[in-house]
């Protein structure tokens, strides 16, 4: 019905525009790239013709000519992470705003695969910069990454690499606020539970706990704290029990998974949440909202972290900016697992 051909013809190039507009190729290029030194008349004509022809630039040709790919790469680990979806959306969104495409590269576990990746596939990626997501083992190679000539940003690095810029969240402050919230509800025996402490953010959150106590002039009671140096992600059941034996009226968990374990243990003892003991987590993973009672927790702004990472990377690509980390603020999300204390 319309006048368009249904057969998808060859895409028009700047050559076609040039011919149709009666100007030269470079002039078209200048117009399309917004260069100032073009007469208003020709600029107008060229734009008109370009629109009429349905011109879309060739990313590949541009990349070849400029030496820049106009894209950045996201290296994703093999394991699933609750915040990945949001983080990537933030990255993709911010990248698009800046005219950058997003290339995703899956990382494979295992030494062999990592080495192979760094030496073989990494150099071939047509990207101007890299975002490395919680690389775990990859961290050993992060130096090589940086040396590959392209700027690198690490998101939520566990144990920051010197010289590599990273994006984190306000781990310390977030927990401090959480403690303050509990104090405001009348809690005085506030416990802290963490699993493995091998990461920078775990230590930061513990510091935030101490800050919170200090701020409220509460004493540090070792029996209310478990840092399970060598435990897996969650604290050992006996450590958890030990803390509960000390009868806290609130527990701050270093991350949500721990909070869920706490809630189960508390329920098992027949104690009520939040009447007898309040529970606060960290992350605001999807589970936090779904669990009963729903979990008050420190929201980790994954989408914003992704955006920040892209901003840093884009700056580094354009102005060769050096390492300048970013710390995206958390936000306390109050749900059902906290509330005024009821127990004597």
Partner DNA sequence: TTGTATGCGTTATCAG
Partner DNA sequence: CTGATAACGCATACAA
- CB-nearer residue toward a copy of itself: 84 or 207: 84
**Which of the listed partners (a copy of itself, DNA, none) does 226 bind, with a CB threshold of 5 to 8 Å by partner kind?**
none
**Which of the listed partners (DNA, a copy of itself, none) does 37 bind, with a CB threshold of 5 to 8 Å by partner kind?**
DNA
The distance of closest approach from Cβ of residue 68 to DNA in the complex, given in angstroms and rounded to an integer, is 9
Q: Which of 22, 292, 318, 329 binds a copy of itself (CB under 8 A)?
A: 292
Number of Cβ within a 10 Å radius of residue 20 = 18
CA end-to-end distance (rounded Å), the chain = 79
With binding defined as CB under 8 A, does residue 33 bind a copy of itself? no
**Which of the listed partners (DNA, a copy of itself, none) does 102 bind, with a CB threshold of 5 to 8 Å by partner kind?**
a copy of itself
The distance of closest approach from Cβ of residue 183 to a copy of itself in the complex, given in angstroms and rounded to an integer, is 29
Measured over all CA atoms, what is the biggest interatomic distance in the chain, rounded to whole angstroms?
88
Q: Which of residues 270-289 bind a copy of itself (CB under 8 A)?
A: 286-287
**Which of the listed partners (DNA, a copy of itself, none) does 342 bind, with a CB threshold of 5 to 8 Å by partner kind?**
none
**Which of the listed partners (a copy of itself, DNA, none) does 38 bind, with a CB threshold of 5 to 8 Å by partner kind?**
DNA
The distance of closest approach from Cβ of residue 170 to DNA in the complex, given in angstroms and rounded to an integer, is 40
Which region among 28-36, 67-75, 136-144, 205-213 touches a copy of itself (by CB under 8 A)? 67-75
Write down the residue that tokens 């144990």 correspond to.
159
With binding defined as CB under 8 A, does residue 60 bind a copy of itself? yes
**Which of the listed partners (a copy of itself, DNA, none) does 271 bind, with a CB threshold of 5 to 8 Å by partner kind?**
none
Residues in contact with DNA by CB under 7 A are 10-11, 13-15, 22-27, 29-30, 32-33, 36-39, 41-43, 55-58, 61-62, 64-67
**SS3 string of the chain?**
CCCCCCCCCCCCCHHHHHHHHCCCHHHHHHHHCCCCCCCHHHHHHHHHHHHHHCCCCCHHHHHHHHCCCCEEEEEECCCCCCCHHHHHHHHHHHHHHCCCEEEEEECCCCHHHHHHHHHHHHHHCCCCCEEEECCHHHHHHHHHHHHCCCCEEEECCCCCCCCCCEEEECHHHHHHHHHHHHHHCCCCCEEEECCCCCCHHHHHHHHHHHHHHHHCCCCCCHHHEECCCCCCCCCCHHHHHHHHHCCCCEEEECCHHHHHHHHHHHHHCCCCCCCCCEEEEEECCHHHHHCCCCCEEEECCHHHHHHHHHHHHHHHHHHCCCCCCEEECCEEECCCCCCCCCCC
Q: Which of 3, 5, 80, 111 binds a copy of itself (CB under 8 A)?
A: 80
**d(C-alpha 46, C-alpha 210), whole Å:** 65
With binding defined as CB under 8 A, does residue 123 bind a copy of itself? yes
**Which of the listed partners (DNA, a copy of itself, none) does 43 bind, with a CB threshold of 5 to 8 Å by partner kind?**
DNA
User: β-pairing, 326-328 with 152-155?
Assistant: unpaired
Site string for a copy of itself, 202-241 (x = CB under 8 A): ----------------------------------------
Supply 192's token pair.
């802290």
The distance of closest approach from Cβ of residue 87 to a copy of itself in the complex, given in angstroms and rounded to an integer, is 10
| φ, ψ of residue 151 in degrees (nearest 5) | -60, 150
The distance of closest approach from Cβ of residue 238 to DNA in the complex, given in angstroms and rounded to an integer, is 59
The gap from C-alpha 204 to its chain's centroid, in whole angstroms, comes to: 17
With binding defined as CB under 8 A, does residue 333 bind a copy of itself? no
* Site residues, a copy of itself (CB under 8 A): 6, 8, 11, 54, 56-61, 63-64, 69, 71, 74, 76, 78, 80-82, 84-86, 88-89, 92-93, 96, 101-106, 108, 121, 123-126, 147-149, 260, 264, 286-287, 290-292
């Amino acid at each position: 019905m319309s006048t368009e051909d249904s057969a998808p013809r060859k895409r028009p190039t700047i050559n076609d525009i040039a011919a149709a507009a009666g100007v030269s190729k470079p002039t078209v290029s200048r117009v399309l790239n917004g260069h100032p030194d073009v007469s208003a008349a020709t600029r107008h004509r060229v734009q008109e013709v370009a629109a009429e022809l349905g011109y879309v630039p060739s990313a590949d040709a541009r990349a070849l000519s400029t030496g820049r790919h106009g894209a950045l790469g996201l290296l994703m680990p093999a394991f699933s992470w609750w915040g990945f979806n949001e983080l990537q959306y933030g990255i993709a969104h911010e990248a698009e705003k800046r005219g950058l495409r997003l290339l995703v590269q899956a990382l494979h576990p295992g030494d062999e695969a990592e080495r192979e990746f760094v030496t073989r596939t990494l150099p071939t990626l047509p990207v101007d910069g890299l975002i490395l997501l919680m690389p775990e083992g990859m961290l050993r190679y992060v130096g090589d990454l940086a040396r590959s000539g392209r700027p690198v940003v690490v998101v939520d690095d566990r144990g920051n690499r010197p010289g590599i810029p990273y994006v984190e969240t306000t781990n310390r402050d977030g927990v401090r606020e959480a403690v303050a919230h509990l104090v405001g509800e009348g809690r005085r025996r506030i416990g802290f539970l963490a699993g493995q402490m091998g990461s920078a953010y775990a230590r930061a959150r513990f510091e935030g706990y101490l800050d919170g106590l200090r701020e409220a002039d509460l004493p540090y009671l070792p029996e209310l704290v478990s840092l399970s140096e060598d435990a897996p992600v969650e604290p050992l059941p006996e450590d958890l029990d030990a803390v509960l034996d000390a009868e806290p009226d609130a527990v701050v968990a270093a991350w949500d998974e721990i909070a869920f374990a706490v809630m189960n243990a508390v329920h098992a003892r027949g104690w009520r949440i939040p009447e007898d003991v309040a529970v606060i987590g960290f992350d605001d993973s999807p589970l936090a909202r779904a669990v009963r009672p729903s979990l008050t927790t420190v929201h980790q702004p994954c989408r914003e972290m992704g955006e920040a990472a892209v901003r840093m990377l884009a700056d580094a690509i354009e102005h060769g900016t050096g390492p300048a980390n970013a710390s995206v603020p958390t936000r306390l999300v109050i749900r059902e697992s906290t509330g005024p204390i009821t127990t004597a």
